[in-house]
């Protein structure tokens, strides 16, 4: 067997493996003997069919498997001996000639192998990355106070509806009736909405529900029927207003403080203002930390200047995604793929440089945190630990979710290592200017 290496450039290698009869003949013989021992062929006792028959029936398969096994071992050995940092997997060269699969022949196989570059850069105090401190403004505090009082507010009866109000109505089209229908006027289609403004108890209004409530799921729930019944209903309904409700913010008092923060956690307007400022600062810190992660990532991507075998990567992506994505789709997403792949390499280098590892506990903790975040998005805080654990367990049973969590943990560890070792250039900035940052 002969292996030759053609170094195309720093990242691309073509490997030619020449296989002679003596390189695979013994492997073929062993495979045929093993097949003979197990063969159960009509007219012969098991294992007693003549080798010539086995050769005729299974020779081509044995040859193919033997040659491919020899080539695979040789290629893997070459990659190991040369210490190649392989991207994806070797691909058959585009100038590979077709072999004649016949016992006794010599064979030649060409493979294209691409490598990732060898990274070498420092992460030190010489690296300066901005860290933004966002000012807490009076307007921001007033806005948050307004939002928190609204959060603690309630629906109260009012005499006449506005575009921000709600009505409760009994509706009928002569054939179908639904009582106590709850309508949020701001969710009514814009061109129909004026019909719902200015209504008071006992007023009647005829509305085409198909035009007013375009979402079929919402419309079916309002009419209290299945979605399959909607098409059979006359859409012209008379709405008879039972009452009108408006969402009224809570008053600033002890009852509201207790509702927002817990019993006696806040006892005065000054303490309420302090909590608001603390919450804004916390939110700003999260925003600043996220911005730092973006800036740090860009800084070290630029510093590492990772060169990639782009032509090979396009071929490899087309190969592994054959039947899933078109060439045009791969081309469209390729720049994003390159950016993410470069960061994976830089992130991996930083993890290795600082001896960082992702442990099972890290992934578990990330799953629990993500579950808590999801509940919080639905306004559910302080979710019991056992519920969060069940949600995390479900996530950890999904291989794709585990991969996503592992990447998230790696990101956090790499960014934290950067933050601990570089120089942060603190910049005070207004919230408005911060939002304008690209």
Q: Return the CATH number at 221.
A: 3.10.50
Does residue 144 fall inside a structural domain? Answer: no
pLDDT category of residue 43 using cuts at 50, 70 and 90: confident
pLDDT in tens, 144-163: 999 999 888 999 999 999 99
The pLDDT-based confidence of 280 (bands split at 50, 70, 90) is very high
pLDDT value at 121 more than 70: yes
* Domain endpoint, select from 82, 114, 146: 114
According to the model, what pLDDT value does residue 326 have?
87
Would you tell me how many other CB atoms lie within 10 Å of the CB of residue 175?
8
State whether 282 and 374 are in the same domain: yes
Mean of the per-residue pLDDT values for the chain? 93
Please check whether residues 337 and 429 belong to one and the same domain.
yes
106 and 53 part of one domain: yes
pTM recorded for the entire structure? 0.75
> Do 244 and 267 have their domain in common?
no
Interval 253-270 mean pLDDT: 92
In a domain, 121, yes or no: no
Percent of the chain with pLDDT over 90: 82
> Are 242 and 291 members of one domain?
no
Instruction: Give the pLDDT confidence of 55-91 residue by residue, as tens digits.
Output: 888 889 999 999 999 999 999 999 999 999 999 999 9
**415 and 281 in a common domain:** yes
Grade residue 41 by pLDDT with cuts at 50, 70 and 90: confident
On whether residue 122 sits in a domain, the answer given is: no
CATH of the domain at 36: 3.30.70.1050
For residue 341, give its domain range. 128-137+259-436
Q: Is 356 among the domain residues? A: yes
Q: Are residues 271 and 308 in the same domain?
A: yes
Residues 310 and 359 placed together within one structural domain of the fold: yes
The answer to the question of residue 254 being in a domain is no
**Per-residue pLDDT averaged across 341-359, rounded?**
96
Query: In this structure, is residue 145 part of a structural domain?
Result: no
Shared domain for 395 and 421, answered yes or no, is yes
Q: Residues 278, 425: one domain?
A: yes
Q: Tens digit of pLDDT for each residue in 375-429?
A: 877 767 677 899 999 999 999 999 999 999 999 999 999 999 999 999 999 999 9
**pLDDT for the residue numbered 274:** 95
pLDDT tier at 37, thresholds 50, 70, 90: confident
Instruction: Indicate whether 222 and 331 sit together in one domain.
Output: no
Residues 198 and 326 in one domain: no
Q: How many domains does the chain have?
A: 3
Kindly report the CATH number assigned to the domain that includes residue 381. Answer: 1.10.3120
């Amino acid at each position: 067997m002969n292996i030759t290496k053609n170094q195309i450039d720093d990242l691309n290698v073509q490997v030619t493996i020449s296989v002679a009869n003596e390189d695979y003949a013994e492997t073929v013989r062993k495979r045929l003997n093993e097949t003979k021992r197990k063969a159960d062929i009509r007219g012969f006792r098991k294992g007693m069919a003549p080798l010539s028959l086995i050769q005729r029936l299974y020779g081509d398969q044995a040859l193919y498997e033997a040659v491919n096994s020899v080539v695979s071992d040789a290629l893997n050995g070459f990659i190991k001996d040369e210490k190649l940092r392989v991207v994806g997997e070797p691909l058959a060269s585009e100038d590979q000639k077709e072999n004649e699969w016949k016992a006794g022949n010599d064979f030649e196989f060409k493979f294209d192998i691409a490598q990732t570059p060898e990274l070498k850069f420092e992460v030190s105090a010489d690296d300066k990355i901005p860290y933004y401190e966002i000012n807490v403004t009076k307007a921001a505090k007033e806005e948050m106070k307004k939002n928190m009082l609204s959060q603690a507010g309630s629906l109260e009866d009012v005499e006449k509806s506005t575009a921000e109000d709600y009505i409760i109505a009994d509706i009928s089209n002569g054939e179908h009736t639904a009582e106590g229908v709850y309508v949020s006027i701001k969710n009514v289609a814009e061109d129909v909405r004026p019909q719902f403004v200015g209504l008071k108890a006992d007023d009647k209004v005829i509305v085409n529900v198909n035009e007013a409530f375009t979402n079929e799921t919402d419309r079916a729930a309002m009419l209290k029927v299945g979605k399959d019944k909607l098409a059979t209903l006359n859409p012209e309904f008379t709405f008879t207003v039972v009452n009108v409700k408006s969402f009224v913010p809570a008053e600033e008092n002890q009852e509201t403080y207790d509702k927002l923060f817990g019993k006696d956690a806040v006892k005065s307007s000054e303490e309420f203002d302090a909590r608001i400022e603390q919450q804004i600062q916390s939110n700003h810190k999260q925003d600043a930390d996220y911005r730092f992660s973006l800036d740090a990532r860009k800084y070290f991507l630029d510093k590492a200047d990772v060169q990639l075998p782009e032509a090979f990567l396009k071929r490899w992506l087309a190969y592994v995604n054959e039947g899933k994505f078109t060439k045009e789709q791969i081309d469209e997403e390729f720049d994003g793929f390159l950016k993410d792949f470069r960061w994976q390499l830089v992130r991996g280098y930083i993890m290795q440089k600082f001896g960082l590892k992702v442990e099972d506990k890290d992934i578990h903790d990330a799953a629990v945190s993500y579950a808590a975040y999801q509940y919080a998005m639905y306004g559910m805080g302080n979710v019991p630990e056992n519920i969060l654990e069940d949600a995390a367990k479900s996530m950890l049973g999904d291989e794709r979710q585990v991969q996503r969590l592992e990447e998230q943990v790696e990101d956090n560890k790499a960014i934290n290592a950067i933050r601990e070792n570089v120089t942060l250039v603190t910049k005070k900035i207004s919230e408005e200017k911060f939002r304008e940052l690209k």
